[in-house]
Amino acid sequence: MKIATWNINGVRARIDNLLAWLTESVPDIVALQEIKTLDEGFPRLEIEALGYHVETHGQKGFNGVALLSKIRPDEISRGLPGNGEDEQARFIEGVFSVDGGAIRVCSIYLPNGNPPGDPVKYPYKLAWMDRLLAFAEDRLALEEPLVLAGDYNVIPEPHDCFDVRAWEGDALFLPETRQAFRRLENLGLTDAVRATTDAVPLYTFWDYQAGCWPKNKGIRIDHLMLSAEASDRLISTAVEKHVRNWEKPSDHVPVVGVFDFAA
DNA sequence: ATGGTTGACTATCAA
């Protein structure tokens, strides 16, 4: 079973790329971020035509997440628990039947948090990470396969960015950000890509500006975080870097985990 | 060489 995360940066602008990638890679479950559309604007018919179920949690203009799956989800819930006032669509959770059990997959679009001096944005990011920590703690207690898949907007380690000096004051790399990410790992979540490779550099995002892609000035911020029950079944991972060379690409590329679950 | 794009939406904002 192949489970992927991809920040699509506007699903309507990217539908041709998305259909091409689904056809090529044939993932079983895909967590999308930044769909940048309301649910009713999501191009679901084209995706359903490839045999996927589509569950969205959209928002006008910004944010928005979705789960695409070859198998029908048994349960779906929208929104990260912990703050009923939060209007931003950044989280959707699905439960799927596999091997006679359940696997839980969440699509996460963690707040960017820049600029860190802003009175609202960085505190919102840290508060969101606290809520994610509480959520993860709750779900880990179920002792089930769990995949928290998404754009974390966190550079975990110095070697996960091109130049530490360029990122040291950024909300994606500040010590508090990395500490919060480490707290998540310390609950018992495994970074799937790092569990399967030591390769550096290994990036998942390259800014559109200043020729970052041709110069390979990227960062690794898209992650598959696994419970022990999921990590035990992990076979391999892949960062589908070639997709960044396609016409009209997203600034992120898909990150894929292959598991020995049967659908 | 001091670097500047993209998507959603229509004047900027977010990334």
Q: So which residues of A are the catalytic ones? A: 109, 151
Sheet holding A91-98, edge to edge: A75-78, A91-98, A101-109, A146-151, A222-226, A190-191
pLDDT digits (tens, 9 = 90+) for A88-140: 999 999 999 998 899 999 999 999 999 999 999 999 999 999 999 999 999 99
Q: What is the pLDDT of residue A262?
A: 84
- A230-252 average pLDDT score: 98
Q: Where does the pLDDT of residue A141 fall: very low under 50, low under 70, confident under 90, or very high at 90 and above? A: very high
Closest nt by CA–C1' to A7 = B15
B strand bases under 7 Å from protein CB: 3-9, 14-15
Q: What are phi and psi of A28, to 5 degrees?
A: -85, -40
What pLDDT band is residue A67 in, cutting at 50, 70 and 90?
A: very high
* CATH node for A2-259: 3.60.10.10
C1' (B12) to CA (A101) span, angstroms: 48
Strand B nearby residues, CB < 7 A: A 9-14, 36-37, 60-63, 111-112, 114, 121, 153, 208-210, 248
C1' of B8 to CA of A158 (Å)? 33
What is chain A's mean pLDDT, rounded? 97
DSSP chain A: -EEEEEE-S-TTTTHHHHHHHHHHH--SEEEEE---S-GGGS-HHHHHTTT-EEEEE--SSS--EEEEESSPPSEEEES-TT-TT-----EEEEEEEETTEEEEEEEEE-----STTSTTHHHHHHHHHHHHHHHHHHHHTT-S-EEEEEE-----SGGGBS-HHHHTTSTTT-HHHHHHHHHHHHTT-EEHHHHH---SS--SEE-SGGGTTTTT-EE--EEEEE-HHHHTTEEEEEE-GGGGGSSS--SB--EEEEES---
DSSP string covering A106-131: EEEE-----STTSTTHHHHHHHHHHH
CA atoms within 13 A on the CB side of A86: 20
pLDDT value at residue A79: 98
pLDDT digits (tens, 9 = 90+) for A171-230: 999 999 999 999 999 999 999 999 999 999 999 999 999 999 999 999 999 999 999 999
What are the structural domain ranges in chain A? Answer: 2-259
pLDDT over threshold 80, residue A263:
no
